[in-house]
Each structure stands twice: as structure tokens, then as C-alpha cells.
Structure 1
Amino acid sequence: MISGQSSSGAAANRIRSLYDPLATLLDSLNVAICIFDLDDRAALWNNTFLRFFPEHAGNVQVGEHYRDNLKRFYELRLDQREIQFIDEYIERSLARHRSDHPPYVFKHRERWVRVAVQNLEGLGKVRAWTEVAMPQQQNRNFFLPSSAPLEVVHLTSMANMPDPIVVLDLNNIIVSYNDLFRQLYEVPPDRDISGMTIEKLVQDLWCHHPEEGGGEHYERTIRPLLRDENRLAGVAYELPLPRNRWVRVVEQRNREGLRTCVHFDITRYNRERQELQRAESEARAQEARFRAVIERSPIGMSIASDDGTILEANEAYGWFLGYSPEELIGTKLWDFMDPVEQETARVVMADLVSGQIPSLEREARFVHRDGSLRWALQSAVHLTGGATNGEIISQIQDVTARRHAESERDALLTDLAHRAAHDGLTGLPNRAAFEECLITALRTARLGQRAHALCFLDLDGFKRVNDAAGHVAGDQILRMVAETLKQHIRPADFLARLGGDEFGLIIQDCDLETTMACASSLIKAVSTKNFSWDDQSFTLGLSVGITTVADRDLSVEKLMRRADEACYRAKRAGRNIAVVA
């Protein structure tokens, strides 16, 4: 934070004591601020402010009037033709500063920034600048790209909008407009003004009214106004038109650089002071409604003491939790977290305060007032020294939607992976998974001199089930067989359905005697069980082909073929027996 060497009075001292930590924090977030007292005199600024506006480095002083600040700013920006109007530029900028204008965007020293102004009750105003991406040129044949933020225009065609509307590209060239806009600027119905700059349109309008100064008045008064305001994307301004008419222009620039401007006719409100005040109020109300559909949700922010007690919280913080900021004061930072995370949060905050960790950034679950769980990215830093006396500056950003989307994605991927490796009828692993397991078994046999067994299991008499009761019954009985087989193998063994009425079994770490015993157990379990479907009962047999998996074996294909041949011999030998290849 930078505040100069001298004091401009009690107000400046109070501002520095209250907002010095915030200025330092915002430096770390690449946010520039400058705070002015109630008399529009500089009281506090940070290093990012000097980086964004290097013309002030070594020049700005505590107690300097904002007018002097603006003079340096415009002396750098204005060319020789415009410098004669510098006093007008300064006064308009000063008026914007004193009004409750919304955020706007402008370019300075090859940097695009968004500026916002906030009242500090009883102290003055703070101006904050954040760097934004440079707008990109958009095809002029489009009204608005899909990323345009003005959903209200998407939902209502310009022809049906109740106010004059025009869309401009990066070069102030008219892309589209409605009939009300054409009428406002006295454009004949048969004339198309697409491709004309807004400056040329206004100039032509004034040139058609020489009795009011015409082109000379435009060059002297109107042109500098347009040049100044067009640099500041998003700022509302008032534009005088011939025949004592006035319009208030409210605009919004999207990421591609297109500007949608609403030209509110405020002529009748400028006739008398009372009417003017009502007009300005209505314009602000309409502007607020206009911007409501495109407003970004701000990040929640709180200030807490060393023990985690919340001292201040903004509207966004309260909104995330379902409480007003006043209701949060006096609670702990972790009071609204999921109970299972509260102890972890206490420990982490204690580490932050003690200096064991320099900063905090973690995702945590919070409990909303309505009882729902919400995810937030929580970041925090601990500030000490000066007037802070130890404070935790914490931010929370709602990431609930992303976490839910990730959870759904993970569940879908898990389900897809399971489906890819399992038989849809029995739930057993499928042939592909079986062959992968066999590859692993063969590898361990080669590396560790371990012996395994590969078994092919083929049901005897299963065709009778399909012939007598149909394929639905056959499917159900295959499920019963799968459950029966699973109940008679070890947890480490791998059972799979290879297709039709064939199953595969890999018996881990066993000799031939153990394998034969296992095969006999499976044959007995299947052949002695009655498999029922509706009022019918079926008995089945089981033929088993066995081969060992040892380090001498060369390939999975060879092992599978050997086990299949053994199973075939078992069937030919009378079924319900096991044969070793």
C-alpha cells in the first residue's frame, strides 16, 4: 500500500487505518484501488494503481484533488486536436466520479481495464480497476454472437423493444438498429445506416440543423463528448440532439467487443429540474434492469478476527449461505461448514494465523440456511501489523455446480468402465476382462514361478431350457448359475462369462490337485441344483476343461485354446466331468 508521507487530515488518517490491509490484499489479486475523501482528495492507493497508471508514480500526493489526477491522465491520452477540450473532459470525469455510475471498461497504455466506484459511508469513495481481456472484433453481419451477455435482446427482437437500440462494433460502426433508433436520429425509412459510424450519424443530424450551430457546434461540443465517452465502454452518458432534445445512452460491451446501446429519450425530463431528477432516476432504474440479466455474481468476502469471528461480510457472502451480512457478524468462519469439516477448518485457520502456512486455498462444503450442502473455493490470508491487529481476509466462490457436474461425470465414467468390462446379463466380468486377468496371471507365472489354473466351464443340457421355456427363462437361469458358481470359488479367483452358456475361471496360486477339487465342487453344485422358472424345474450339468498357467506358456491364445479343447473332451467323455489338458 502507498499513502504518501504527509497527512491530509483526520479523514485521510481514518481511511488509511481502515483500508490499508485491504489495499495490500488487493495488490496480491492484481486489483488497483485509489480512495478519495469526501472532498475528492486522494487519501490512499496501492502499488497496482501505480502499475496500471504509471503517470501518477512519484506525482500523486495525499490531499491531491481528483481534478489534478485527471489532468495527468488526460494529458497523456489526448492528441493535439483534443487537448483544447481537456477541461471539459476533466469535469465530465469528475461528474462521473461523484455520481453512482455503473462499472465501465476503457483502454489505457495498451491495457484494458474495468473500473467501478463505491461509496464509503461518511468517508468518501473508492475507485477500483481490474484488468480484462481485450475485446475481439466480430463479424458485422451478425447481430450478436452466442456469447453476448445481453439475454434481454436475445429474448426480445429489437423491433419489439420499447426503446431505441443500436449495436456497434469495435470501430463504432453501426451493425444493427431498430426503427425507434432510426426515428430518434431522423433517418428516412428508405435509408440504411448500417456501416456508418455513430459519430458520422450524429454529425449528419447536427449538420441538418444549422439554426442550432450545425456542424460547427458538433465539432466544438458534441464530437469531443463522443470521443471521450466511446473510450469508456459501459459508462452511461447524456448526448444533446438538435431541437433541444437529450438522450441518455446506456451500453454493454460483450467479450467479442460488440456494444449494445440503448438510447433513452430524456428530453422532457430536462425541461425542469424536478422532471430531470425523475428522468435520471428512471434511467438508473432502467439501467439497473438492463444490467441485471448480465450481472456476474460477485465473490463473497469477509473479514474475521484471529479466532475466526466474522467482523464484516458482504452481500455475496451472505447470499451464498442464505443469511444477511448482519446475521453473519459474530459467527465463526467454520460455523456454516459441513460438521465433518469444521474441525479441519479450525486447525487450518489456526495454522494460517500462526504463520505455519502463508495463505489458504481449499474447497469445502458449506451448509446453506435451507439445509442444502454447497461447495465453495475458500481462500484466505492473514494480515498483521498496522491497524489490522491481526485479521483474516477470506473469500468464497460458489463451485457447487462444477462439483455436481464432476460427480455426475465421474459416476458416468465409472458406469461406462463397468459396462465395458462386465457382462450385462449376469454382472460377471466379460471375455475382455477375463483375457486381461489371464495376461496378468501369465505374467506373474513367468516372473515369480507361480502356478495358476485356467478352467473353461460349459453347461450341459442348457439348450433344453431355451427350447422348453424360452430365452427369458434361459437368461434367468444363467443368472442363477452365475450366482451358484460365485458361491463355490475363493475370493481371489476370477470368474467371468465368456458368452452363451460358457464361463471362464482363473484359479490363483494352486496346484493341479486343488484345481481338480474346485472343479468337482462346481460340477456338484450345478448338477445337484434344481433351477426353477415359473412352474418348471430344470437340472443341468457342467463340463470343465482345465489347463495350468505356468512360466512355460507362451500366449493367452494358446492357453484359451488348450482349455477349450479340454472342455470339449469332457463333453465327449460323458459330461459332468473335468478333463485336464
Structure 2
Amino acid sequence: MKLSRYLHDSLDALGIGACEYDADMRALGWNGTFLQFFPEDDGLIYVGEPYGDNLLRFYQGRLSPEELPDIARHVAEGVARHENQTQPFEFIHNGRKLRASSLRAPDGGRVRLWQRLDVESHAERAPELVLPIIDALPFIPDGASILDAQDRVIAANDAFRRLYDLPRGTPVVGRTLDEIIAWCWRDASPVGAWRAAISNGLRYDGVPFEIELPGQRWLRLIARHSTGGLSFFTHADITVAKRQQMELLEAQEALRRANAALAELAETDGLTGLANRRRFVARLAEAAALSQPVALMMIDVDHFKTINDRFGHLVGDACLKAIAEVVANEVAPTSALVARIGGEEFGILLGGMRIEAAHDMATAIRRALTLVPWQMHHADLAGVTVSIGLCVGEGPLDGTSLHARADDALYAAKRNGRDRIETSSQPPAPLRVAG
């Protein structure tokens, strides 16, 4: 998406500011009217600037010193408005009342448009006409309030009092919304950062914002402003909808966790808790394809059939668990994957490791196995040994070839007497790229 210079000039002629953003919310282009409306961007905005950086500059010039600590929240809410805006909203900037619109492009980008509102309503031209509006407040079903230029309430209806649990006789006129909500939270710790939400809501017309109250209650506020300094707020109870939304999000999160657990279970060996063959094969292909050293260690328990036949499968399973624990303890988990390939065979995938370090690790595994109290599993079980085959190469490699070479080294260790380490003398094949 990129508007032509002709369209930019046409929008300038109509007095409409425009700025384009791509799908990653980075600036693509803007016109002269945009810089008239936002002179703080002149000479600073650039192609590729993140929208968040633009908003940061915008708020640095608008927020009071007391509000600046919440600038990150203002920016985050502004980015959310940019991503989700479907209806125009209005605000005052540099003495101009602007209506902001946003058009989504097919490629995911957006064009933001700003139009100056020169035509004021009767209430805006003549603030004294606010009196009939005050008279109409009791007939508004939702909570309603009117704020003056200092953001203090000058009128509110009974529905407003009920929404904020304000007892009859509690002073409302002359107080800010911030003070009223602080009063609501007087006996509890506030959960929501309502001050930043109100500060933002006071600036933008027609943009709903939410306030949390004690007892897990939520209100949605919408503001309308006049150039005469008056603000008209509606307050609606959205507790039921908000709780339903939270329950839905919780259900979705529970489903996500359950699916993640199932996926983990599908790739985990039930006996040892190590990765299973499925995960091993997938990770092997990924690691071998990287441009880095990669080592593969294949381990097979010596005479495991004899152990099963003589002492039973329960003892055999206990031996496999003990070996799995030893191997896992000797291998750094950040750079390796330990898996039970099947039966009495284990595989260790070591990304970024060269032959010397891999051989030292294999030696440490064999040494650690000699320290296992095997007789705790059966009085006649003197010890358990393993044969280890090693293959190391420089990626990108063919994962299947790496596996085959490590297996060849393992079988060599078996042939040469077991309880030993053998290294493949034949390098694995390089990865073939299709095309």
C-alpha cells in the first residue's frame, strides 16, 4: 500500500491530513496537512518509523508532568486504537478539533485521516445552552455526567450515583472522575490503572474506555467534548459482558494449556520422561540444517535382553529410568536434546558442539553409570554398562545421514566389545537444497 503523490496533494487541497502505515505499523508516507495538524512531527517522522514512536512524541507534548509517568500506557492504548479502530473519533490538538478516521488496506496496513471540524454544534457555540442538557439528565437510562473545562463534574444523574455506589448526599459536583473512582477504591487496592484511562478518555471523543471498580465491576465510558470546554460522559455497566469475556479468555487459555500438554505428551517417552523418537527426529532435522557444528550421540544398553530375561521387566524398566536420569544430569539442557529412541536405545543431540567436547560428555556418562547403586534394583545386579557411538559434523547437514553415521559408530562399539565409545570415521552428507 502506498498512496500516490497525486492523492496526497488532493487530500491537502481538501484540508485532510493523511499518514500511511504498513502492516507492521511503520510509517510509509504523509502529506503536508498532516504536518500542519501535527507540527511536532515535522522533520522527525521518517519512513519506517514505528507508530509507537510517533505516539510517544505526540504524548510527550500533551501530557502534564503528573501524567508523564503513565506515558507508556497512553502509547499502548493508542497503538490498540490504531489496530482496532472502526469508527471515527474526535479530539482537540493544538487548539483544533480533529476527527480521526482509519481505513484498513487489503495488505493489513492502514491509512489514518484527520479532518478539522470547523462547524460547531449549538452547545459548542453557546455553553449556556448546557442548562437544557442538565434538565435532560434524569431521562438518560445510563449514567451521565457533565464536566467543565477543569474536568470537574458540574452535573450528574441518579444512574451515575448508582453505578459508582455513591450514597445520596455524597458530594459529586466539583469532583473529578479520578477523585470519585479513588473514593470507590477507598477500602481496597485498585486493580486497574484508572487514572491513565481517564486521562486518555478525557481527550478523545467517541472512544470507549473501561474502568474497573471494586467487586469485579466494570464500567464503559464514552466522552463528547465541546470547544467551549464542556465534556459530556456516558457511563454504562458492562460487568456481565466483561465477566463473560474473561470466562471465555480463561477457557481459551485452559484449552491452550491442555493442547500444549497433549502436544508435550505426544512427544514424551512415558517411562523415562525424556523426549521420544517423534520429537527426536524432528529436532534432529532442524539442528542438522543449521550452519553450526552438531554432534549426535547414540547410546545402547549392553546386554539389556539378558537383564530382562534374568531379573524381569520391572528391573529392566528401573535400569532404563536410572540411565535416563544419569544421561540427563550429564547433558546441558540448553544446548541438547536427550531422547529415548526406543527399547534400550537413547539419543543425544548436541547443537554447537565439536568432537572433543562430545567425547568428554560421553566419557562422563560412562563414568557416572559406574557410580549408580544398581543392587538397589536387584541384589544380583552388579552393574549396567552402555555402548556409545558418536558422529560430529559442520552444518548444514542431512539429518538422516548424521543419524546413520552415529548408528554405524554405535554398532562398531558393540562389535569391539561393548562398554566403550566409538567415533564415526565417515562424515555425514551435506544437506541438499531442492531447486
Q: TM-score range by the shorter chain?
A: 0.5 to 0.7
Q: 1:421 to 1:337 in 2, by over 3 A?
A: farther
Structure 2 CA distance for aligned equivalents of residues 340 and 459 of structure 1: 60
Structure 1 partner of 2:362: 519
CA spacing shift, 1:479–1:391, aligned 2, 3 Å? farther
Asked whether the 8 Å contact 1:530–1:537 carries over to 2, the reply is no
Q: Which amino acid aligns with 1:511?
A: R
- Report whether the alignment pairs 1:352 with 2:352: no
1:16 and 2:133 aligned: yes
Question: Is residue 410 from structure 1 mapped to residue 410 from structure 2 by the alignment?
Answer: no
Q: How many angstroms apart in 1 are the aligned matches of 2:188 and 2:316? A: 50
Aligned partners of 1:375 and 1:400 also within 8 Å: no
2:76 is aligned to none
Q: Which amino acid aligns with 1:432?
A: R
Name which one, 1 or 2, has greater alpha-carbon Rg.
1
8 Å Cα contact 2:299-2:347 kept in structure 1: yes
Query: Deviation of residue 466 (structure 1)?
Result: 3.3
Distance 1:416 1:338, change over 3 A: farther
Q: Does 1:579 align with 2:422?
A: yes
SS of the counterpart of 2:330? coil
Q: How big is the alpha-carbon RMSD for the aligned residues of Structure 1 and Structure 2?
A: 4.3
Answer yes or no: is the 8 Å Cα contact 1:304–1:311 preserved in 2. yes
Equivalent-residue separation in structure 1 for 2:217 and 2:394 (angstroms): 52
In the alignment, what sits opposite 2:384?
540
Distance 1:408 1:358, change over 3 A: same
Which structure 2 segments of 5+ residues have no match?
1-120, 123-128, 173-179, 425-435
Question: One-letter code of the match for 1:481?
Answer: I
- Mapped to 2, the partners of 1:489 and 1:391 lie a distance apart of 65
Question: How has the CA–CA distance of structure 1 residues 359 and 576 changed in structure 2, closer, same or farther, with 3 Å as cutoff?
Answer: same
1:427 is aligned, of 269, 273, 278, to: 273
C-alpha distance in 1 between matches for 2:146 and 2:312: 72
Inter-partner Cα distance in structure 2 for 1:506 and 1:338:
53
CA displacement at 1:384 relative to structure 2: 3.1
Deviations 1:153-198 (A, max 9, x none): xxxxxxxxxxxxxxxxxxxxxxxxxxxxxxxxxxxxxxxxxxxxxx
1:384 aligns with 2:234: no
Task: Rate the CA distance shift 1:507–1:17 in 2: closer, same or farther, 3 A.
Answer: same
User: Number of matched residues?
Assistant: 279
* TM-score (norm. length: structure 1): 0.41
2-side partners of 1:387 and 1:18: how far apart? 19
Q: Please say if 1:332 is aligned against 2:187.
A: no
Cα pair distance change 1:435/1:534, threshold 3 Å: closer
Q: Is the 8 A contact 2:205 2:224 kept in 1?
A: no
Q: Distance in 2 between matches of 1:308 and 1:427?
A: 63
Cα distance in structure 2, aligned partners of 1:312 and 1:541: 83
Return the alpha-carbon distance in structure 1 between the equivalents of residues 386 and 153 of structure 2.
Answer: 69
SS at match of 1:435: helix
Q: Is the 8 A contact 1:542 1:576 kept in 2?
A: yes
Q: Is the 8 A contact 1:352 1:360 kept in 2?
A: yes
1:68-147, aligned counterparts within 5 Å? none
Confirm or deny: 8 A CA contact 2:144 2:234 kept in the other structure.
yes
Q: Is the 8 A contact 2:205 2:222 kept in 1?
A: no
Amino acid at match of 2:300: D
Q: Supply the AA of the counterpart residue of 1:17.
A: I
What is the Cα deviation at residue 412 of structure 1? 1.0
* Alignment partner of 1:550 out of 388, 394, 409: 394
Once residues 576 and 359 of structure 1 are traced to their aligned partners in structure 2, the CA distance between those partners, rounded to angstroms, is 73
Displacement, 1:541? 0.8
Distance (Å, rounded) in 2 between the aligned partners of 1:365 and 1:423: 46
From 501, 509, 522, the counterpart of 2:352: 509
1:438 matched to 2:284? The reply is: yes
Partner SS for 1:510: coil
Q: Give 1:387 shift.
A: 10
Amino-acid identity (%): 21
Q: Which residue type is aligned with residue 499 of structure 1?
A: G
Contact 2:146-2:232 within 8 A present in 1 as well? yes
- Matched to 2:280, the amino acid is F
* Pair 1:481 & 2:331 matched: no
Q: What TM-score, normalized by structure 2, do the two folds share?
A: 0.53
> What residue identity is the alignment partner of 1:571?
K
User: What is the DSSP-based 3-state SS (H/G/I as helix, E as strand, rest coil) of the residue aligned with 1:487?
Assistant: helix
**Structure 1 residue 426: Cα displacement:** 2.1
- In 2, are the aligned partners of 1:17 and 1:387 still within 8 Å (CA)? no
Q: Deviation of residue 456 (structure 1)?
A: 0.7
SS of 2:250 mapped into structure 1: helix
Matches of 2:411 and 2:153 in 1, distance apart? 74
Q: Relative contact order: is structure 1 or structure 2 higher (C-alpha 8 Å, sep ≥ 6)? A: 2
Q: Aligned to 1:441, what secondary structure does the other structure show?
A: helix
Distance 1:384 1:411 in 2: 45
Give the one of 448, 454, 460 matched to 2:296. 454
Report the Cα distance in structure 1 between the residues aligned to 2:390 and 2:154, rounded to whole angstroms.
71
Instruction: Tell me, in whole angstroms, the C-alpha distance in 1 between the residues paired with 2:157 and 2:379.
Output: 75
CA contact (8 A) 2:221 2:234 kept: yes
In the TM superposition, residue 474 of structure 1 has moved relative to its aligned partner by 3.3
Q: Could you tell me whether the CA contact under 8 Å between 1:495 and 1:506 is conserved in 2?
A: yes
Deviation track 1:179-238 (CA, whole Å, cap 9, x = no partner) reads xxxxxxxxxxxxxxxxxxxxxxxxxxxxxxxxxxxxxxxxxxxxxxxxxxxxxxxxxxxx
For residues 473-532 of structure 1, the C-alpha deviation after alignment (integer angstroms, 9 at most, x for no partner) is 433432332221111112312211211221111122222222211111111112331236
Structure 1 contact 545–567 (Cα < 8 Å) conserved: yes
Partners in 2 of 1:310 and 1:424 — Cα distance?
A: 68
CA gap 1:551/1:403 in 2 versus in 1, 3 angstroms: closer
| Paired residue secondary structure (1:458) | strand
What amino acid maps onto 2:370 in structure 1?
S
Quote the Cα distance in structure 1 between the aligned partners of 2:189 and 2:380.
55
Q: Secondary structure at the match of 2:347?
A: strand
CA contact (8 A) 1:304 1:391 kept: yes
Are the aligned partners of 2:201 and 2:207 in contact in 1 as well (CA < 8 Å)?
Answer: yes
- The CA distance in 1 between the partners of 2:330 and 2:279, in whole Å, is 21
CA distance in 2, matches of 1:434, 1:337: 56
- Structure 1 residues not aligned, in runs of 5+: 6-11, 21-119, 129-299, 369-373
d(CA) in 2 for partners of 1:16 and 1:357?
A: 18
Q: How does 1:20-419 map to 2 (within 5 A)?
A: 306=151, 326=167, 331-332=180-181, 335=185, 341-342=191-192, 344-353=193-202, 355=203, 359-361=207-209, 368=215, 379-385=220-226, 389-390=230-231, 392-395=233-236, 396=238, 397-398=241-242, 399-419=245-265
Counterpart secondary structure, 1:332: helix
